[in-house]
Structure 1
Amino acid sequence: MKVLTRSFWAPWRRFSSLSLAAVIGLGAVLAPLSEAVADRRIRAAIIIDANTNKVLYTKSADALRSPASLTKIMTLYVLFAYLRAGRLDLDTPLKVSKHAAGQSPTKLGLKPGSTIKVKDAIKALVTKSANDAAAVIAENLGGTEENFGKIMTETAHNLGMKSTTFRNASGLPNKEQLTTARDMGILALRIMRDYPKYYEVFETKYFTYKGRRYRNHNRLLFGYKGTDGIKTGYTRASGFNLTASVQRSDKHLVGVVLGGRTGAQRDAAMRTLFDKHWRKASTKKSKGGALIASLFGTSTPPPPSRKPAYALAGNTPSPAPATIEQGDVSGPGDTVRTSLSPNRPAPRRATRDTYHVQVGAFTTSGDAQNRLGMVQQRASKLLNGHLPFTATFMKGDTEWYRARFAGFSKNDAQSTCAALKRMKLECIALSAE
């Protein structure tokens, strides 16, 4: 698998200087509003200090809204997990089905039977917000777009996005596809922290594919200092949506605006909210700890479980990197950090199956991912269709990573674990959070 560096994305981040007329026009479009006017022209919003996870501003942050093409952030989150797990690489060709080619615009115009490379599909989602490319990713990874929607939803819930449901990979209208500003804020933080090298693609300003050049829909990239992503969205039902990330010096804010009346008003509202709350942003990053209660919308942080950590024999603790969540994920109400290791593309069972099979706990994400891959390889038929993921918990000052397979009934989890033990693979069956 190829390792991404900034040099990979650089050609697509560079752009020629805008003409004076274009700059003047862009400035007019993005002119900031007063905070009161900005507040009236959007339906929901949240501003988060990414250094501390502190919520600086909310408006109807837990109101259910259509995500529109903000959906594609989760589509890419899952795809990045496949890349990191080595299930495909940037040059892997993805097949285009009739279903994918038939998606409504905006799209690249992909033809049934053709292929598109992973790296082109990624940039098509980031810049053009191509619905056909999103469906291609979903079908190649999940078998069907419906199955991929289940993977997306389970991933969202494991990340703490408890109010979010996905039914497709693009964000095209579906009355059951819902999210909140708070949940989209969580997703933005997670994708940039879990996949920092892949996240760099959200800075892409232009993308050329088969002779056509596409401009990123996120206009803040072109006219608001420090913007490094991430995604716009629009449907008639959702209004104009935007998730944005801005870094200047040691400060870093993430914002979500949902339900703008127009694209220009949405962008102006985001700029206004960033400007208003920038002075409150911290220059110091938190050293681990819990994702604070306000971001989860609760009055108090979820308490850590008192259950002991399960670890494979011979695993030696070592310092782990800081994260934004805390809690032994064995207990109800605890927060979960998920990093998919999709060794199988689609879960065969519905998300109502609420038991997991855990195959180890480690002090590094890499060790947990390797364990999942090894167990999946040894017991591929037994674990066919069960979603692999890692969930973190804190033990003292050390972060641990639980390696798990999801989507079991209680009896299935127990019988699967018994079968794994007969193969000399240690495991435990436990209820999902």
Structure 2
Amino acid sequence: MFEQLKFDSEPRGSWIRSSWISKSSASMRQVTKISLVLLLALGVTLTHVGEAFADKRVKAAIIVDANTNNVLYSQSADVLRSPASLTKIMTLYVLFAYMRAGRFSPDTQLKVSKHAASQSPTKLYLKPGSTIAVKDAIKALVTKSANDAAAVIAENVGGSEENFARIMTQTARNLGMKNTTYRNASGLPNNEQLTTARDQAILAMHIMQDYPEYYSVFETKYFDYKGRKYRNHNRLLFTYKGTTGIKTGYTRASGFNLTAAVQRGDKHLVGVVLGGSTSSLRNAAMTSLLDKHWSRASSKKSGATNFIASLLGTPNPPRPSRKPVVSVASAAVPVASHTPPAQPAVAQPAVAQAPVVQPAVAQPAQQRPIVQASLAPSLAPNRLSAPSPASTNRMGDYHVQVGSYTSPADAQNRLGMVRQRAPQLLDGHLPFTATFEKDNKEWYRARFAGFSKTDARSTCEALKRMRLDCIALAAE
């Protein structure tokens, strides 16, 4: 028997039950909740056994079977530590929510403020008054771990980095990350910015399952920007078979951190290690722990509801203001729809048209109905009405692949050419490359993300009529 990674089955804040959920499903949630409590109680013994053989190269660690949510290894997994640049995973999680809601597109230009430009390295050295496209800011966080790009995202989404950090913290609570607090979007040193290995595993599981149309960007190995080429800091992408992401982090206070997701065949593990003394020891600890637990991983996804999906409930971003926003409790929630949303103007950040959030510290949070859905393999997390289990026409779960190349530059060039040829067809869809090995050679798939099954097929048919080869396929 295993301890299970517990996702909050009764999210708070901007979360309430939808009226369509039946009494029987409510009973099932209660049974699930009781079962999780029992599993966690039994898991205390397992945790102690695991810690008896703790990996001394890191301060905290956890290995989770992503198919079953079973915790295969736990070492000081609930001890508070600094997340460093693992923070940027949550920064992107919040951004992805706004993108799916149509508030930002990959081509939306984000304005760079003096505050953002002044962030300490690592960074892109963005200039105050300049702009950067959302798609470039995303890849800058994933590869270079650029602190200035993180601040740019925070200010354009939340009005200020301070307010964005509040959104991040509330989102963490909604996802069941009970011990995580954010004070900035980058992970730069702040004594109040804290997390645990368990919470970071929960976040990794959510970003993979809640936003499959965007998660593939974490596989990006190289990022070209204004004549410079940046290599991803996550060395496991280059050295450990099956690695799909996701993020490294380091400050003097935190030590060397890493969240990794690895898939081999039907087995899928998520690992978090915190507090390594060097990057090489951190990586060695991660690969060693993963190697030890592959044999215990399940090759089958659990058919039962192991947890209730926490659908993101972030508030509308407030209008930029010099005055600090006291609370985001009264803001509305961006939600996704089954029809493509109206695209925001590319020339201006979407935040410019957002309503001002009023202070609401003493006020109860206003809530909008969000469906809580089982994360069974056939159910997408963005469902807003009673779903049909047989339905496969879900927004965001499909990619359009336009080529496969042995050179990352060729793949990037293909993406740029196709986008230039068909801007209206591909507007709002994130371009990215996904790697795979064939005949001992690394290949790069050129893809666009964020399609429903129907839209992916119709888009591909339209591209073929333009004599542009492509294939529509489900996100892996």
**TM-score category, normalised to shorter length:** 0.5 to 0.7
Shift of residue 109 of structure 1? 0.5
* Partner SS for 1:344: coil
Q: Contact 2:311–2:382 at 8 Å: present in 1 too?
A: no
The amino acid across from 1:254 in the alignment is V
Shift of residue 290 of structure 1? 3.0
TM-score by length of 1: 0.65
Shift of residue 197 of structure 1? 1.3
2:64 corresponds to: 48
**1:213-258: per-residue Cα shift (whole Å, max 9, x none)?**
0000000000000000000000000000000000000000000000
Shift of residue 392 of structure 1? 4.3
Please point out which of 234, 246, 249 is paired with 1:233: 249
Q: Contact 2:171–2:314 at 8 Å: present in 1 too?
A: no
Identity %: 67
Task: Work out the CA distance in 2 between the residues paired with 1:358 and 1:134.
Answer: 22
Which 5+ residue runs of structure 1 have no aligned equivalent?
Answer: 1-34, 292-324, 327-336, 371-379, 404-433
* 1:190 and 2:167 aligned: no
* 1:350 and 2:350 aligned: no
* 1:255 and 2:271 aligned: yes
Please point out which of 71, 75, 78 is paired with 1:62: 78
Which 5+ residue runs of structure 2 have no aligned equivalent?
Answer: 1-50, 342-353, 360-364, 385-476
* Partner SS for 1:55: strand
Q: Rate the CA distance shift 1:272–1:394 in 2: closer, same or farther, 3 A.
A: same
* 1:104 and 2:120 aligned: yes
* Partner SS for 2:55: helix
Q: Contact 2:81–2:194 at 8 Å: present in 1 too?
A: yes
1:338 corresponds to: 311
Q: Rate the CA distance shift 1:270–1:401 in 2: closer, same or farther, 3 A.
A: closer
1:169 corresponds to: 185
Shift of residue 174 of structure 1? 0.2
Shift of residue 99 of structure 1? 0.4
Shift of residue 343 of structure 1? 3.8
1:350-389 counterparts in 2 under 5 A?
350=327, 366=337
1:265 corresponds to: 281
Task: Work out the CA distance in 2 between the residues paired with 1:389 and 1:131.
Answer: 33
The amino acid across from 2:145 in the alignment is S
2:215 corresponds to: 199
* Partner SS for 1:269: helix
Task: Work out the CA distance in 1 between the residues paired with 2:262 and 2:165.
Answer: 29
* 1:280 and 2:296 aligned: yes
TM-score by length of 2: 0.60
Please point out which of 131, 147, 150 is paired with 2:166: 150
Shift of residue 400 of structure 1? 9.9
After TM superposition, which residue ranges in structure 1, 4 or more long, deviate above 6 angstroms? Answer: 35-38, 355-359, 367-370, 380-390, 397-403
Q: Contact 2:327–2:358 at 8 Å: present in 1 too?
A: no
Q: Contact 2:331–2:366 at 8 Å: present in 1 too?
A: no
1:89 corresponds to: 105
* 1:73 and 2:50 aligned: no
CA RMSD of aligned residues (A): 3.2
Task: Work out the CA distance in 1 between the residues paired with 2:304 and 2:357.
Answer: 33
Shift of residue 41 of structure 1? 1.2
